[in-house]
Copies of this chain bind each other. A is one copy, B any other.
Amino acid sequence: MKTAMLLFPGFTALDAIGPYHALASLPGWDFTFVAERPGPVSNGGSFTMIAPVGIDEIGQPDLLVVPGGVSAITIARDGGALVEWIRGVHPGTTWTTSVCTGALMLGAAGVLQGLPATTHWYSHAELADYGAIPTDERVVRAGKVVTAAGVSAGIDMSLVLAALIAGEPFAQAAQLDMEYDPAPPFSSGHPRSAPPEVYAWLKGMYDDMLGAPSPSPTPTASADEAERE
């Protein structure tokens, strides 16, 4: 069985390496990073890693993982070779998965039509443009399609997948191996808990970066929760 994690210029390093930790050790599964062409792939900052194979060489993955990044939003909007590759391999996968805005690339490839899915909190409205049902949960499973929320949610998704693929004891050992006993020093990991001024500042930065304000940055499903709190 073969796991392929797709890399592309501007991907968010932690979107990829968070789930890599548990997924690379799945017994009986061969893990490979893949990109449009083999060679170095940069996150657009100081991080560059090597994709040993290109999409033309890798063949059919059984588990596909698509990380996100600001560039994933624009790749999804523009289409192109990576989106077409996802569209081509999805019917043959056992699991098709994404982290953060990687979900938009799945969406552009037609994978999420009519399915509940999640993505980074900023991009829930845009996810609906691809026919998905934006769902404000950390990890959303719809049959063989599993999507994770923003960046660090890929770690939680990897443990969910590890349990589905290799059983709960393996997933629990993977969690213990990475000492995933989280203790964030602040309660600021989601728009529902972050200080409003921090949320406004970050949303403004994203709006500037992407050239246009998102029509509704807060996930639909969290509006009720926000009112309850």
Contacts and interface: CB of A to CB of B under 8 A. Distances in A.
Interface of A: 12-14, 16-18, 20-21, 24, 31-33, 40, 45-50, 52, 100, 120-121, 138-139, 149-153, 155-156, 159-160, 163, 168-169, 171-173, 175-186, 188-191, 193-195, 197-199, 201-202
18 contacts: A14-B17, A21-B151, A24-B46, A100-B179, A150-B177, A152-B181, A159-B185, A169-B201, A171-B186, A172-B186, A172-B195, A173-B188, A175-B189, A176-B188, A176-B194, A180-B184, A182-B182, A182-B184
Given A50-B50, A152-B182, A169-B195, 13 more contacts: A13-B21, A33-B47, A48-B50, A138-B183, A139-B183, A149-B179, A156-B182, A172-B198, A175-B184, A175-B186, A176-B189, A176-B190, A182-B189
A182 B110 CA distance: 29
Contacts of A49: 47-50
A179 B48 CA distance: 23
B46 A40 contact: no
B180 A151 contact: yes
Given A47-B20, A182-B182, A176 B156 contact: no
Given A24-B47, A33-B46, A47-B49, A198 B180 contact: no
Contact of A17 (B17, B163, B182, B202): B17
Nearest to A203: B176
Contacts of A13: 17, 20-21
A40 B47 contact: no
- Where chain A touches its partner, the secondary structure class is mixed
The 4 A-B residue pairs with the shortest CB-CB distance in the complex, in nearest-first order = A150-B179, A181-B189, A172-B188, A182-B182
A182 B52 CA distance: 31
A184 B21 CA distance: 14
A46 B32 contact: yes
Given A18-B14, A20-B47, A155 B171 contact: no
B202 A176 contact: yes
A32 B185 CA distance: 25
A14 B178 contact: yes
A194 B186 CA distance: 25
